[in-house]
Amino acid sequence: SLVAFSGCKSFFQPDIPTGVEKRTLDNGNLELIVTGKASNLAIDKDSVAMKQTTSREAARLLLEVELQSGNYPGHKERFEIQSVEFLYDFEYCIIKGTYKNK
C-alpha cells in the first residue's frame, strides 16, 4: 500500500523552519545550524539542479549574514563547516558549523 503514495511526496513533507539556530556545546564553542529553502520557482519547476543551487545559496547567505553580524570576531579563522546536507529532494539545505571560542 506504500506504493500508492509514492507519487505524493509533498504529502509527507512538513515545512522546515529556515534561519539560524545556535547551540552552545559542552566545550563552550558554538554550533550554528543554518537552514535555507529553495526558491519557489525551483520548487514549482521541480528542478533538482535549481533546488540544490537555490537552497544552498539561501543557506550560505544566511550563514554569511550571521557570521558578519559582529558576534563572531575572527570568524574567518575560528568558524569551520562540519556538514552540508539536503532534505526533501534538495528543497532544503542545512549547513552545520562550529565557531570556536578562544
Nearest partner of 10 among 87, 97, 99, judged by Cα: 87
> What average pLDDT does this structure show over 33-52?
96
Per-residue pLDDT, 98 = 96
Residue 85's pLDDT band (boundaries 50, 70, 90)?
Answer: very high
- C-alpha cell read off for 83: 556538514
Per-residue pLDDT, 26 = 94
Helix and strand counts by DSSP (H, E) for the chain = 3, 4
- C-alpha cell read off for 71: 558576534
pLDDT tens digit sequence for 3-33: 444 444 455 667 789 999 999 999 999 999 9
| CB-CB contact of 46 with 82 (8 Å) | no
The sign one gets for the Cα dihedral 72, 52, 55, 11 is negative
pLDDT tens digit sequence for 54-70: 999 999 999 999 999 98
